[in-house]
Amino acid sequence: MPAAAPRPAVLVARAVFPEVVQRLRHHFEVEDNPRDRIFGKAELTTRLAGKAGAFTMGSERIDADVLAANPQLRVVANMAVGYNNFDIPACTARGVLATNTPDVLTETTADFGFALMMAAARRMAESEHFLRRGEWTRWAFDMFTGSDVHGATLGILGMGRIGQAIARRGALGFGMKVIYHNRSRLAPAQEAPIGARYVDKATLLGEADHLVLVLPYSAESHHAIGAAELARMKPTATLTNVARGGIVDDAALAAALRERRIAAAALDVFEGEPKVHPDLLAVPNVVLTPHIASATVATRRAMADLAADNLVAALTGGQPPTPINPEVLTEGRLRAR
């Protein structure tokens, strides 16, 4: 009897649900990382040696060097919708399929973005810290007065799936007027149900009472919100970022908050996270959370399952459900090896 073909080897680069790792073990030789050490570039490169696939999170940078050192690699499956940790042109040039986890986290992330925006508008974190410090000795009419969310103008920068889900919450649940700016305008059939109005970026900055950032990070969106943009916002406005660190110039934002040039901010993502700019830690009018917008048990499991679906399909001749660079599949390069 001919010997069975060796099973492909894959690296699960971060700790994830044991059931998902177990499922991958049915198909592959799996090297996992249950202690959840974060591999630097050199270690990631070495651990990928001999691997046909990688299950990654936002912490693993798959760039041209990592790919060049691992020509056997065929698929990188990110457990995230964002994929700025992947050099997609380099993946495509090498015939490496890259996949992400869209859709399954849309509503969960929108819930959290909306909650953060409300927390900033109604000064929830700031007032809670005040109470915990034991400073609440009497009630006063103007204690922690914020700004209304209902009926206010919601500005969305980046009107993709998550942006639209936040806009729906604002328009349908809170009677907000929705304005947005995006690389491309939505179809009228998408704008109409939420009364969304497409505006240029300057108008968005100037008119929004609550501005929410939901755009992907790239060289073009780096510091899309810096000192100049903050200066265009209303002094009563709030800014919420559930997209990526680096879209906001954190030092400029901290200065604007400190000088009350905008009222408040809410951030789930940071430049250089998990480090947080010390100036942000020092200002009271900002809500800070550790990149948890998609963190419900059900959604994280759905993300892990989808990343695993992609990995299994790509390496067993199936159709990966959510490819980022599907041209790799259609050009047959993935299959050819």
Which position among 48, 52, 77, 105 is part of the footprint of ligand 8YV (CB under 6 A)? 105
Nearest approach in angstroms of CB 17 to ligand 8YV is 13
Nearest approach in angstroms of CB 112 to ligand 8YV is 10
Nearest approach in angstroms of CB 288 to ligand 8YV is 16
| Residues annotated catalytic, as ranges | 244, 273, 291
Please list every residue from 131 through 190 that binds ligand 8YV, using CB under 6 A.
none
Cβ-based nearer residue to ligand 8YV, 262 or 287:
287
Nearest approach in angstroms of CB 105 to ligand 8YV is 5
Q: What is the torsion angle, in degrees rounded to the nearest 10, for the CA atoms of residue 107, residue 109, residue 112 and residue 114? A: -70
Nearest approach in angstroms of CB 337 to ligand 8YV is 27
With CB atoms as reference, the residue minimizing the distance to ligand 8YV is 82
Beta strands in the chain (DSSP E): 9-12, 29-31, 53-56, 75-78, 97-99, 153-157, 177-181, 197-198, 210-213, 238-241, 264-267, 286-288
Q: How many residues bind ligand 8YV (CB under 6 A)?
A: 8
Give the Å distances, CA to CA, from 301 to 20, 69, 166: 9, 31, 22
Cβ-based nearer residue to ligand 8YV, 146 or 160:
160
Report whether 158 contacts 220 (CB < 8 A): no
Alpha-carbon gap, residue 247 to 230, rounded angstroms: 13
Report whether 52 contacts 9 (CB < 8 A): yes
116 binds ligand 8YV (CB under 6 A): no
- CA 332 to centroid of chain Cα atoms: 30
Cβ-based nearer residue to ligand 8YV, 179 or 306:
306
Cβ-based nearer residue to ligand 8YV, 103 or 259:
103
For residue 124, which of 273, 240, 205 has the smallest C-alpha distance? 240
Alpha-carbon gap, residue 298 to 300, rounded angstroms: 6
Please list every residue from 211 through 250 that binds ligand 8YV, using CB under 6 A.
none
Please list every residue from 52 through 91 that binds ligand 8YV, using CB under 6 A.
57-58, 79-82
Helices 124-132 + 106-121 axis angle, to 10: 60
Alpha-carbon gap, residue 249 to 231, rounded angstroms: 13
Cβ-based nearer residue to ligand 8YV, 58 or 323:
58
Residues lying near ligand 8YV in the complex (CB under 6 A) are found at: 57-58, 79-82, 105, 294
